[in-house]
Structure 1
Amino acid sequence: MTLSPIFMNMERWGESFHFARAYKGDTFEQSIKRHEQYLALKLSLNEKQKILDVGCGVGGPLREIVRMSGAHVTGINNNSYQVERCKIFSKKLGLEDKTDFVKGDFTDMPREFDSKFDSIYAVEATVHSPKLETVYSEVFRSLKPGGLFATYEWVTTQNYDENNPDHKRIIHGIEEGNSIPSLSSYKQALEAAKSVGFEILEYEDMAIVSDCHEPWYNTLKGNFSLKGFRMTRFGRWTTSKLVYGLECLRIVAPGSSDVAEFLNNTAEALVEAGERDIFTPMFFILLRKPIDSNSSNSN
């Protein structure tokens, strides 16, 4: 859950604040659900298991995974408003017995989480940790020995050149626009996982496009249909100017146009990073806590 929830709610994301691998012919909703279901499949979830969603947002992926697997899923989130929204959605959908929500910091998880969960997952959330080692260490502690952790990470790719001023400008725009302390490289993410004791089972950049896929950033580029217009560059510019006009008329709060412009610049940075293939929001990693581990990490 990275790109500003305000921005995503304004557009198409609804309850699931993440990008997704899209196949040609997919609707946006189909690609989002498949991306969530993929985690449940890779973790082999079932109705007897207790699962943790790290940085659960308003719980869109969590509810999809509960419905698909039957597992009990706990979500942790440090935003009180979003936690309350999670509870409301679960009650509305009759999922109260299969879900719990905890207001908490995923870089300092409750001690009652120690060795509690069969599997843990994160959907574009752990990028907000000051250091990946910090949140990975907490995940490691919260897993049962032999438990699995699956995550979609925001990272720079092998094509990113830290000595290229344009690359640095684009990545800084992503960091600034999404309140990210510092983007890690894909290699740094893997090293962080190993450093706290995890075994690496699989990893893949799911943003790599084959003949059957659409680029993930097309969602931000939009199209000139009625539904997609708002996400085109011109559509975002038009929205920004509209908000400015409403601000001048005192219909919306002062500063709203600045926020709209800021979010527009963030979207531009993401598209540019995607087109240059220097960044991915879906570097998939599957990890295992060794069966002989105790409740703490190996460091």
Structure 2
Amino acid sequence: MPDTSLPTAEAVSDAYDRLAALTETLGGPDLHYGYWSGPADDTPIEEATDRLTRVVVARLAAQPGDRVLDLGCGNGRPAVTVAESTGAWVTAIDVNEHALERGRAWARERGVESLVSFERCDALAMPYPRDAFDGVLVFESTPHFLLEPLFTEIVRVLRPGGRVVLEAPFLRVPVTEDIGPRLAAYFEMFQVVSIESRESYAETLRAAGLRVDAVEDLTEHTEPFYGRILARLDTLHAELAAEYGAEAVRWIRDGIAGCATVPTGSVLITARKPFG
């Protein structure tokens, strides 16, 4: 579901600067979906988002000494988890310098600062040579891009035989006239370009030259996310309004509530760059 006006990297960075503290209060520092066993699972949001990080990172199957790119790394939690759990060298990129600083601090705290490099760059024009990485992690960063140019650049920097692991939100229903308005506040808040269908991710990966090995629908595990974020927001409303302003809280609630009314899900795709 593309938007015709594409946000700049600076606009995306500015959006996260405005909203980072508030969104982390609501959803924790990982800045992505949580993973629950089902509606009865009362795992706190912060633990559930870490659980999803570990599910996604496991699909990389990285080894000590591998070179992994985390594209759109945010606060760096997945990048640090890759380094901690596999011993791989990780290059974590983002357009937001404050997020990168948070990532560097987290890597130092976890004792893996020598394995993770946090770098500011545009994912559509990366300063890395062809075949530079053994694996690429794309963790809920696709909404900021048109898929075709993004996947083309990923294929360029991925070595033959290298693996791409992508986790992303997707639309579970065809696009209709009423969906756009319900997502408008969310798109504006985070400078989103599109939320695609599950099939379009796999089709565009194949068109870019990758072999898709697995497509996993995680929706049953991630579905509680928006409801739990809204419940936390309503519980903390007075406190949040006092700290961040009533208008900011109303704005972010409208965006999350709009998303909650649209049938979305989470897809986890593993793909490889063929040899030859």
Partner residue of 2:226 out of 189, 192, 217: 217
Query: Structure 2 regions of 5+ residues with no counterpart?
Result: 1-11
Residue 35 of structure 2 is matched in structure 1 by 21
Asked if the contact 1:177/1:263 (under 8 Å) is kept, the reply is yes
The separation in 2 between residues aligned to 1:63 and 1:70, in whole angstroms, is 10
Asked if the contact 1:52/1:75 (under 8 Å) is kept, the reply is yes
Residue 205 of structure 1 is matched in structure 2 by 217
Partner residue of 2:186 out of 174, 192, 195: 174
User: Secondary structure, in 3 states, of the residue corresponding to 2:167?
Assistant: strand
Asked if the contact 2:184/2:255 (under 8 Å) is kept, the reply is no
Partner AA of 2:214 in structure 1: E
Residue 193 of structure 1 is matched in structure 2 by 205
Asked if the contact 1:37/1:68 (under 8 Å) is kept, the reply is no
Residue 122 of structure 1 is matched in structure 2 by 138
Asked if the contact 2:165/2:268 (under 8 Å) is kept, the reply is yes
Cα shift at 1:239: 4.8
Cα shift at 1:291: 1.4
Q: Pairwise mapping of residues 187-266 of structure 1 onto structure 2 (< 5 A)?
A: 187-208=199-220, 215-222=224-231, 230-232=232-234, 235=235, 237-239=237-239, 242-243=241-242, 256-266=245-255
Cα shift at 1:218: 3.3
Residue 3 of structure 2 is matched in structure 1 by none
Say whether 1:132 aligns with 2:132.
no
Partner residue of 1:288 out of 268, 272, 275: 272
Partner residue of 2:176 out of 157, 163, 179: 163
The separation in 2 between residues aligned to 1:188 and 1:214, in whole angstroms, is 20
Asked if the contact 1:133/1:196 (under 8 Å) is kept, the reply is yes
CA displacement, residues 75-130 of structure 1 (integer Å, 9 cap, x when unaligned): 011112222222222223321211111110111111x342111111111112101x
Asked if the contact 1:21/1:207 (under 8 Å) is kept, the reply is no
Higher Rg of the two aligned structures: 1
The separation in 1 between residues aligned to 2:25 and 2:34, in whole angstroms, is 18
User: Secondary structure, in 3 states, of the residue corresponding to 1:153?
Assistant: strand
> Taking structure 1 as reference, are residues 195 and 109 closer, same or farther at Cα in structure 2, changes over 3 Å only?
same
> Taking structure 1 as reference, are residues 26 and 113 closer, same or farther at Cα in structure 2, changes over 3 Å only?
farther
Asked if the contact 1:175/1:183 (under 8 Å) is kept, the reply is no
Asked if the contact 1:220/1:271 (under 8 Å) is kept, the reply is no
Asked if the contact 1:73/1:98 (under 8 Å) is kept, the reply is yes
Asked if the contact 2:233/2:253 (under 8 Å) is kept, the reply is no
> Taking structure 1 as reference, are residues 289 and 103 closer, same or farther at Cα in structure 2, changes over 3 Å only?
same
The separation in 2 between residues aligned to 1:99 and 1:200, in whole angstroms, is 27
The separation in 1 between residues aligned to 2:239 and 2:42, in whole angstroms, is 27
CA displacement, residues 152-187 of structure 1 (integer Å, 9 cap, x when unaligned): 112211xx242352x332233332232112222222
Q: CA RMSD in A?
A: 2.4
Q: Pairwise mapping of residues 136-151 of structure 1 onto structure 2 (< 5 A)?
A: 136-151=151-166
Decide which structure has greater helix share.
Answer: 2
Say whether 1:102 aligns with 2:123.
no
The separation in 2 between residues aligned to 1:262 and 1:221, in whole angstroms, is 12
Query: Structure 1 regions of 5+ residues with no counterpart?
Result: 223-229, 247-251, 293-299
Cα shift at 1:220: 1.4
**Count of matched residue positions in the alignment of Structure 1 and Structure 2:** 258
The separation in 1 between residues aligned to 2:71 and 2:185, in whole angstroms, is 25
User: Secondary structure, in 3 states, of the residue corresponding to 1:67?
Assistant: helix
> Taking structure 1 as reference, are residues 172 and 139 closer, same or farther at Cα in structure 2, changes over 3 Å only?
same
The separation in 2 between residues aligned to 1:82 and 1:221, in whole angstroms, is 24
Sequence identity (%): 21
